[in-house]
Structure 1
Amino acid sequence: MSEGPLYPPPGAPTPEEPAAGPPAQPAHPAYPAPGTTPPPAGWAPYPGAAGGPRPGLALGAAHKPGAFALRPLGLGDMYDGAFRIIRFNPKATVGAAVLVTAAAMVLPLLVTAVLSFTVGLALDESGEIETSASTSEVLAFLAAYGSLLLSLVLAQIGITLVTGMIVHVTRAAAVGRRLSLGEAWAATRGNRWRLIGLVTFLYVAFVVVLVVYVLLWVLVVALADGPWPVVVWGLVSVPAYLALTCWMWVRVYYLAVPALMIESAGVFGAIGRGWVLTRRAFWRTFGIALLTVVIANVAGSMLGFPFSLVGQLATVFTPEYALLALVLTQAVVSVVQNAFTAPFTGAVASMQYLDLRMRKEAYDVELLREAGIISE
Structure 2
Amino acid sequence: MKDTPGWASPGSAPSDGQEPDNSGTAEPPEQPADQGGTNQPEPPSKWSKEQPPPGQWSAPSPQGPGQAPPPPPPGPGWGGRQPPGAGGYGGQGGGWGGRGYGGPGGPSGWGGNWGGPPPAAKPGVIPLRPLGVGEILDGAVSTMRTYWRTVLGISLTVAVVTQIAVILLQGLVLDDSASTDVLNDPNATAGELSRALGDTLLSSGVVVLIGLLGTIVATALLTSVTSRAVLGKSVTTAEAWHDARPRLPRLFALTFLLPLIAVAIITVGTLPGLLVAVAGSSSAGAALAVLGGLGAGVVALWLMIRFSLASPALMLEKQGVLKSMSRSAKLVRGSWWRVFGIQLLATIIANIVASIVVIPFAIIASALSGDGVAGFLGSGGSPGWTFLIVSGIGSVIGSMITFPISAGVTVLLYIDQRIRREALDLDLARAAGVQDYGSDSPRTTPGS
TM-score normalized with structure 1 length: 0.70
* Structure 2: gaps spanning 5 or more residues: 1-116, 186-197, 438-448
What is residue 150 of structure 2 aligned with on the other side? 92
What is residue 350 of structure 2 aligned with on the other side? 296
What is residue 137 of structure 1 aligned with on the other side? none
Matched, 1:68 2:140: no
- Structure 1's 302 and 369: CA in aligned 2 closer, same or farther, altered over 3 A? same
| Deviation at residue 243 of structure 1 after TM alignment | 1.6
What is residue 190 of structure 1 aligned with on the other side? 246
What is residue 244 of structure 1 aligned with on the other side? 299
Query: Residues 307 and 333 of structure 1 are in contact (CA less than 8 Å); yes or no, is this contact kept in structure 2?
Result: yes
| Deviation at residue 93 of structure 1 after TM alignment | 2.4
Two-structure CA RMSD over aligned residues (Å): 3.4
Q: Which has the higher contact order (CA 8 A, sep 6+)?
A: 1
For residue 323 of structure 2, the aligned residue among 255, 269, 285 is 269
What is residue 81 of structure 2 aligned with on the other side? none
- Structure 1's 321 and 271: CA in aligned 2 closer, same or farther, altered over 3 A? closer
Rounded to whole Å, the distance in 1 between the matches of 2:314 and 2:145 is: 25
The one-letter code of the counterpart of 1:93 is V
Query: Residues 276 and 282 of structure 2 are in contact (CA less than 8 Å); yes or no, is this contact kept in structure 1?
Result: no
| Deviation at residue 108 of structure 1 after TM alignment | 4.4
Task: Spell out, residue by residue over 1:170-209, the C-alpha distance to the aligned partner (whole angstroms, 9 max, x if none).
Answer: 1111111122211211121321111111112222222222
Paired positions, count: 301
Q: What does 1:3-42 correspond to in 2, within 5 Å?
A: none
- Structure 1's 151 and 330: CA in aligned 2 closer, same or farther, altered over 3 A? farther
Instruction: Report the secondary structure of 1:219's partner residue.
Output: helix
For residue 220 of structure 1, the aligned residue among 268, 276, 300 is 276
The one-letter code of the counterpart of 2:158 is V
Query: Residues 277 and 284 of structure 2 are in contact (CA less than 8 Å); yes or no, is this contact kept in structure 1?
Result: no
What is residue 411 of structure 2 aligned with on the other side? 350
**Structure 1 vs Structure 2: percent identity of aligned residues?**
27
For residue 168 of structure 1, the aligned residue among 219, 224, 229 is 224
Instruction: Report the secondary structure of 1:188's partner residue.
Output: helix
Query: Residues 105 and 331 of structure 1 are in contact (CA less than 8 Å); yes or no, is this contact kept in structure 2?
Result: yes
Task: Spell out, residue by residue over 1:284-322, the C-alpha distance to the aligned partner (whole angstroms, 9 max, x if none).
Answer: 111111111122222222220111101211233489994
Rounded to whole Å, the distance in 2 between the matches of 1:277 and 1:233 is: 34
- Structure number with bigger Rg: 2
| Deviation at residue 337 of structure 1 after TM alignment | 2.2
Rounded to whole Å, the distance in 1 between the matches of 2:393 and 2:201 is: 16
Matched, 1:370 2:413: no
Rounded to whole Å, the distance in 2 between the matches of 1:354 and 1:103 is: 30
TM-score normalized with structure 2 length: 0.60
The one-letter code of the counterpart of 2:160 is A
| Deviation at residue 111 of structure 1 after TM alignment | 5.7
For residue 181 of structure 1, the aligned residue among 234, 237, 240 is 237
What is residue 337 of structure 2 aligned with on the other side? 283
| Deviation at residue 275 of structure 1 after TM alignment | 0.8
Rounded to whole Å, the distance in 2 between the matches of 1:187 and 1:329 is: 34
For residue 364 of structure 2, the aligned residue among 310, 313, 331 is 310
What is residue 167 of structure 2 aligned with on the other side? 109
The one-letter code of the counterpart of 1:315 is S
Rounded to whole Å, the distance in 2 between the matches of 1:301 and 1:354 is: 29
Query: Residues 129 and 419 of structure 2 are in contact (CA less than 8 Å); yes or no, is this contact kept in structure 1?
Result: yes
Rounded to whole Å, the distance in 2 between the matches of 1:272 and 1:204 is: 17
Task: Spell out, residue by residue over 1:133-161, the C-alpha distance to the aligned partner (whole angstroms, 9 max, x if none).
Answer: xxxxxxxxx99997786454233212212
| Deviation at residue 77 of structure 1 after TM alignment | 0.4
What is residue 155 of structure 1 aligned with on the other side? 211
- Structure 1's 315 and 284: CA in aligned 2 closer, same or farther, altered over 3 A? same
The one-letter code of the counterpart of 1:255 is L
What is residue 359 of structure 1 aligned with on the other side? 420
Instruction: Report the secondary structure of 1:189's partner residue.
Output: helix
Q: Is the helix fraction higher in 1 or 2?
A: 1
Rounded to whole Å, the distance in 1 between the matches of 2:181 and 2:200 is: 13
Query: Residues 156 and 400 of structure 2 are in contact (CA less than 8 Å); yes or no, is this contact kept in structure 1?
Result: yes
